[in-house]
Amino acid sequence: MPANSLASVYGLIDDCARRQILGSDIDIEIVAIDETNTRVRVDRIIRDMRANNNFGFVGLVGVQSNQYPRSLHIAKPLREAGIPVIIGGFHVSGMLAMFDRVGPDLRAALDIGITLFAGEAEGRIDEVVRDAAKGALNPIYNYINDLPALEDAVIPFLPGNSVRKTIGNVTTFDAGRGCPFQCSFCTIINVQGRKSRRRSPDDVELILRKNYEQGIDRFFITDDNFARNKDWEAIFDRIIKLREHDGMDVRFLIQVDTLCHKIPNFVAKAKRAGVTRIFIGLENINPDNLLAAKKRQNKITEYRNMLLAWKAVGIWTYAGYILGFPNDTPESARRDIEIIKKEMPLDVLEFFFLTPLPGSEDHKVLSEKGAVLDPDLNKYDLEHALTPHANMSKAEWEKLYRDAWAIYYTPSHIETILRRAQAYDINIWRLAQIILWFAQSLTIEKVHPLQGGFVRLKNRHERRPELRIEPVWKFYPRLTWEIVVKHVRVAAAAWRIFGIYRRVAASAHIAYTDQAMTPVSDDETQRLELFTHNESAREAVDRARRIKMLIESSAAQPTA
Ligand code: B12
Ligand code: SF4
């Protein structure tokens, strides 16, 4: 995925260049490098900057917590060469949002003269660029308590050649920021706030048109909860117009919450607006766990309604599932995944460790309690066990994480997912490709699918400073062997998964249905394990029934 953070900052500085904010005699030149697909040649940056007397700065953009150590590693030689460096993104913003003091991680940056930027750059970038030009950057720019409106903000943009280094015709943009809910593991609400700030439909159209002109027509709208973007309908209406009247075949992946199907017209308009996939933070099916994480909006009694509503219009679903909530045990989590497979019409499921990400309430509470927290920020990527768990040892938790992928993506369940999708008229060829990626990334590449790619770039000289540079005779044979083995394994997995695809596609004429696809019925709360697997599930059903009765009886009361 091309990074929207990079596109946002690029767009803002490009706008400074167009407005000639340093005067008509000074050109502003920008180079965007995305380290997920391009090697950052620090030596060349130093050479180019030196040729311009170090006039300018290097911005490390959208730096997440797990990328923060790497950002310091990149910054160090630049600072030694006298080049101004600014770090922005969720780690700096999250830490300064939650703590009044500057912790040792941020101090390490300040100590070598790096500037930190917290908050959002819309409306603030001119000041930064001018200060950099004067050679007078502040140590910290802190706008975390002063979030900008987005209605007329400069739009995110990346040149086509930069976008094409990732999936190809896909890019990302944010139509809005902020989410009203209060999940305790969430960083977004503390960094981007709980109020919906959004771009105007005109700006969304501009983003789509600018990208479309470059041949980019698939988009991931990065709003963490597009269903709570207060202008979702006006934005969808505009996109519907572009698709239905102007013939622009644009398509979208959006992120929504588990109550989105209750918003009148939301699902139907999403379909017309070209949404082909949705991502849902399902997180867990144990109501006690959801309550412990303050994820009160996730109601297990609505899960099937919501998924079936999307399926009815042929939209496929990705869901995130978190392992390691307080009530999870290795056995309960395994059982819960089996229940999901049997009873919920979900396509792609991805697993995460419950992680106290810097910027979240969980991180703040644990830090202030002096709880054990892994000090290595590299591991804050949702793929590591970082705190002790009451019901599992670290090794058990790690094994559960690895097993979860294998339990969900068995050959027989892959076949079920494809059969269900085919029955809902979903493109199962694309779905099979995505399943290959999600089912195999952790096994083969040892990273979460969102961090994996097709070919891994490795350079012998670029290692964490604490690791020794390997000799040529060891590095290259090992890299070659690694590439060969990985691609043989990918080919074998592809053979198996596309074999299943072929079998399913060949039986397209045979009607298929199963428990997960069965429409929601009144008695299912007594029958399905989703609602009966533990006491808290039964209580959730009871609560939902009481609320429904109350609503029905108040609707039946005559009004004065
Ligand atoms: C889209 C997205 C992705 C995309 C693209 C990445 C991107 N940054 O665009 C992909 C799929 C690649 C991705 C992957 C991951 N992500 Co992500 N992602 C997001 C998401 C949903 C939107 C990002 C975005 O567009 N934000 C809007 C931009 C404009 O905000 P911003 O990044 O803060 O940038 C603004 C300011 O910070 C500032 N700024 C930033 N940099 C700079 C630099 C300078 C010089 C200046 C002046 C200003 C400045 O100005 C920008 C414009 O206002 C965020 C959640 C969120 N709401 O932000 C999570 C989020 C950033 N991701 C997160 C995580 C954990 C991950 C993964 C580790 C998950 C995983 N295991 O797969 C991976 C890591 C990838 C990696 N290579 O290491 C966390 C990070 C939390 C943290 N404390 O670090 C977030 C916050 C979500 C969460 N769960 O809390 N992600
Ligand atoms: S619904 Fe998602 S974005 Fe909103 S508070 Fe919860 S985790 Fe954060």
Tokens of 324: 């390691």
List, as one string, the DSSP characters of 120-164: --TTTHHHHHHHHHHT---SEEE-TTSPPP-TTPPPP---HHHHT
Task: Calculate how far, in angstroms, residue 257's C-alpha sits from the geometric centre of ligand 2.
Answer: 8
Task: Calculate how far, in angstroms, residue 181's C-alpha sits from the geometric centre of ligand 2.
Answer: 6
| Pocket of ligand 1 contains residue 36 by CB under 6 Å | yes
- Of all ligands present, the nearest one to the C-alpha of 447 is 1
- Select from 136, 149, 26, 39 the least CA-distant residue to 86: 136
Task: Calculate how far, in angstroms, residue 424's C-alpha sits from the geometric centre of ligand 1.
Answer: 33
Ligand 1 atom nearest 450 alpha carbon: 72
Q: Give burial (CB, 10 Å; 0-12/13-18/19+) of 124.
A: middle
Residue nearest to atom 6 of ligand 2 (CA): 183
Sign of CA dihedral 527, 528, 534, 539: negative
User: What pTM did the predictor assign?
Assistant: 0.96
Mutate to test the pocket of ligand 1, among 14, 37, 64 (most ligand atoms within 8 A of CB): 64
Ligand 1 atom nearest 120 alpha carbon: 53
Q: Give the model's pLDDT for residue 162.
A: 84
Measure the CA–CA gap between 487 and 70, rounded to whole angstroms.
27
Ligand 2 atom nearest 181 alpha carbon: 5
Task: Calculate how far, in angstroms, residue 297's C-alpha sits from the geometric centre of ligand 2.
Answer: 10
- Select from 388, 498, 480, 401 the least CA-distant residue to 447: 401
- Of all ligands present, the nearest one to the C-alpha of 192 is 1
Phi, psi dihedral angles at 19 (to 5 degrees): -85, 0
| Pocket of ligand 1 contains residue 178 by CB under 6 Å | no
Q: Give the model's pLDDT for residue 559.
A: 64
- Select from 242, 241, 271 the least CA-distant residue to 254: 271
User: Measuring from each residue's beta carbon to the nearest atom of ligand 2, which residues come in under 6 Å?
Assistant: 179, 181, 183, 186, 188-189, 224-225, 257, 281
Please provide the distance, in angstroms rounded to a whole number, between the alpha carbons at the two ends of the chain: 57
pLDDT per residue of the chain (560 residues) written in tens, 0 to 9: 899 999 999 999 999 999 999 999 999 999 999 998 899 999 999 999 999 999 999 999 999 999 999 999 999 999 999 999 999 999 999 999 999 999 999 999 999 999 999 999 999 999 999 999 999 999 999 999 999 999 999 999 998 888 888 877 899 999 999 999 999 999 999 999 999 999 999 999 999 999 999 899 999 999 999 999 999 999 999 999 999 999 999 999 999 999 999 999 999 999 999 999 999 999 999 999 999 999 999 999 999 999 999 999 999 999 999 999 999 999 999 999 999 999 999 999 999 999 999 999 999 999 999 999 999 999 999 999 999 999 999 999 999 999 999 999 999 999 999 999 999 999 999 999 999 999 999 999 999 998 887 778 889 998 998 899 999 999 999 999 999 999 999 999 999 999 999 999 999 999 999 999 999 998 999 999 999 999 999 999 999 999 888 888 888 776 65
Strands 176-177 and 316-323: unpaired
Measure the CA–CA gap between 201 and 41, rounded to whole angstroms.
39
- Of all ligands present, the nearest one to the C-alpha of 452 is 1
| Pocket of ligand 1 contains residue 64 by CB under 6 Å | yes
Residue nearest to atom 7 of ligand 2 (CA): 186
Residue nearest to atom 25 of ligand 1 (CA): 4
- Of all ligands present, the nearest one to the C-alpha of 256 is 2
Residue nearest to atom 1 of ligand 2 (CA): 181
| Pocket of ligand 1 contains residue 224 by CB under 6 Å | yes
CB atoms under 10 Å from CB of 471, counted, come to 9
| Pocket of ligand 1 contains residue 61 by CB under 6 Å | yes
